[in-house]
């Protein structure tokens, strides 16, 4: 609703005690408009005039909002619903995300940004939760949402983001995974394995060597070479996960969703590797919500899946068999624009999964700019070209700039077509932080 240039978000109309509250937008800024009296009115900071208080949508007032309207505070997915991480790099897209999920049973993670994304956009994690909480209030969304401390690698970062309000921790153990093991020949592998402490070798050999595993339709045997590779690759990561769980997660004061990310590896995660990790976590009493293996095929940023859909279906089916046996859901990372595999993910997981996305809404915003402000789009495009080589140091893509038509030869009305080209999509996707 518009009143003399001021937009009133009618879905946000709320009251607590003797205070009535609504969110408004004046120009480019959003505010909370409070009227009445009482504890809420007094707790909000802002300018008073004519019986009203105009309050900035800042961090301090967000904390007040959380206290009086608990649905605006992120929570854990305690019902283990199918969930989607909807990373909002701009801090502007969450109202649209809310409208997309409002009539579904999906549990949304509206506040989701990795350390890399925060660094690229010069945002803080509290800013991410602030924008999500205000969007939830603006849209009157009361079904619950989460806040993911995404791809965290250190205990210090985990504790920091929990203190700021994270309700989900995605532990990225990639720095504890030894990706060099895959390149060793059998002799080198044996030499490196023999250098391990004997207690580690005997522990894993006694449990897994020559074990025949059958989980539903999935069956395999673990031979010595496979076991050596998996132990050398993952044992330090498994120990680190145990440390984090016992020191931080298990005794935390509030319910948490705990995701293990093992997708940041140089090769796909084999079912044997997944099984050993899953069994170790279970045997060590580590309860997780989701695990993200690296699947076969390519999950590049901002474009659809690259690879055989039949092979992907077979691969995820194996991982689901392990996940279901040990009581957690499969998580799919780099999910932006992976439309061809979404039906397969839903079918093979029996509708129980987690998917992370962030780039799609950014590219949709860029497309809107190309339609409404061609000059701005052209400036963004040229700047993206200048920064592309820097961005490729942070993101793995196979973008070929030669496949993108020369911008100067394209009429304004045809600019939106640029983002139908995979190479242009990736160019604009990975340079978001520089733009």
pLDDT digits 0-9 by tens, 3-23: 678 999 999 999 999 999 999
Output DSSP code: residue 16.
E
User: 358-361 — which CB contacts under 8 Å span 24+ positions?
Assistant: 358/85, 358/86, 358/87, 358/88, 358/89, 358/112, 358/113, 358/117, 359/87, 359/301, 359/302, 359/429, 359/432, 360/302, 360/336, 361/86, 361/87, 361/88, 361/89, 361/90, 361/93, 361/96, 361/97
Q: Looking at 117, 127, 150, 161, which residue is catalytic? A: 150
Whether the CB-CB separation of 72 and 65 falls below 8 Å is answered with yes
Q: 71-177+242-360, superfamily in CATH?
A: Aldolase class I (3.20.20.70)
The 10s digit of each residue's pLDDT in 17-76 is 999 999 999 999 999 999 999 999 999 999 999 889 999 999 999 999 999 999 999 999
pLDDT of residue 266: 85
Q: pLDDT class for 419, splitting at 50, 70, 90?
A: confident
Q: pLDDT class for 209, splitting at 50, 70, 90?
A: very high
Is the model's pLDDT at 284 over the cut of 80? yes
pLDDT of residue 1: 66
pLDDT of residue 210: 97
130 catalytic? Reply is no
φ, ψ (nearest 5 deg) of residue 286: -95, 115
Q: Looking at 117, 127, 230, 259, which residue is catalytic? A: 259
- Strand 29-36 to strand 19-26: parallel, antiparallel, or no bridges (unpaired)? antiparallel
Is the model's pLDDT at 290 over the cut of 80? yes
The 10s digit of each residue's pLDDT in 134-192 is 999 999 999 999 999 999 999 999 999 999 999 999 999 999 999 999 999 999 999 99
259 catalytic? Reply is yes
For the segment 78-90, the average pLDDT, to the nearest whole number, is: 95
Is the model's pLDDT at 98 over the cut of 70? yes
**∠ Cα 229 179 299 (to 5°):** 115
pLDDT of residue 265: 85
**∠ Cα 147 426 296 (to 5°):** 75
Q: Where are the domains of the chain?
A: 2-57, 71-177+242-360, 369-430
The 10s digit of each residue's pLDDT in 105-117 is 999 999 999 999 9
Reported as half-sphere exposure (CB side, CA atoms, 13 A), residue 67 has a value of 12
For the segment 365-393, the average pLDDT, to the nearest whole number, is: 96
The 10s digit of each residue's pLDDT in 304-324 is 999 999 999 999 999 999 999
pTM over 0.75: yes
Is the model's pLDDT at 2 over the cut of 70? no
């Amino acid at each position: 609703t518009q009143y003399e240039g001021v937009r009133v978000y009618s879905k946000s109309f709320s009251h607590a005690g003797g205070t009535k509250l609504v969110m408004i937008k004046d120009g480019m800024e959003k505010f909370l408009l409070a009227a009445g009296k009482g504890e809420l009115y007094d707790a909000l900071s802002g300018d008073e005039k004519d019986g009203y208080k105009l309050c900035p949508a800042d961090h301090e007032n967000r904390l007040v909002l959380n206290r009086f309207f608990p649905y605006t505070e992120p929570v854990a997915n305690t019902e283990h619903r199918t969930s989607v991480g909807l990373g909002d790099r701009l801090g502007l897209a969450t109202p649209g995300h809310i409208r997309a999920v409002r009539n579904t049973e999906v549990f949304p993670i509206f506040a989701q940004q990795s350390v890399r994304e925060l660094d690229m956009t010069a945002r803080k994690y509290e800013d991410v939760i602030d924008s999500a909480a205000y969007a939830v209030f603006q849209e009157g969304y009361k079904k619950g949402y989460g806040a993911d401390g995404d791809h965290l690698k250190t205990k210090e970062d985990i504790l920091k983001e929990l203190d700021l309000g994270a309700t989900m921790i995605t532990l990225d153990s990639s720095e504890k995974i030894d990706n060099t093991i895959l390149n060793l020949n059998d002799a080198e592998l044996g030499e490196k394995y023999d250098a391990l402490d004997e207690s580690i070798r005997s522990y894993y050999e006694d449990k897994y060597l020559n074990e025949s595993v059958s989980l539903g339709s999935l069956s395999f045997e673990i031979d010595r070479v496979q076991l050596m590779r998996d132990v050398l690759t993952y044992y330090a990561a498994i120990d680190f996960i145990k440390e984090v769980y016992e020191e931080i997660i298990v005794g935390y004061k509030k319910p948490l969703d705990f995701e293990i990310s093992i997708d940041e590896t140089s090769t796909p995660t084999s079912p044997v590797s997944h099984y050993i990790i899953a069994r170790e976590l279970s045997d060590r009493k580590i309860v997780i919500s989701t695990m993200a293996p690296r699947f076969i095929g390519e999950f590049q940023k901002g474009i659809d899946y690259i690879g055989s859909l039949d092979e992907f279906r077979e691969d995820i089916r194996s991982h689901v068999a392990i996940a279901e046996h040990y009581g957690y859901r499969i998580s799919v990372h780099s999910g932006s624009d992976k439309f061809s595999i979404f039906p397969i993910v839903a079918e093979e997981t029996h509708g129980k999964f987690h998917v992370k996305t962030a780039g799609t809404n950014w590219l949709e915003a860029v497309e809107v700019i190309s339609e409404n402000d061609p000059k701005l789009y052209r400036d963004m495009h040229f700047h993206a070209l200048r920064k592309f080589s820097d961005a490729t140091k942070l993101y793995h893509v196979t973008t070929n700039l030669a496949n993108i038509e020369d911008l100067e030869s394209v009429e304004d009305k045809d600019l939106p077509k640029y983002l139908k080209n995979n190479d242009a999509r990736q160019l604009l996707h990975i340079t978001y932080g520089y733009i």
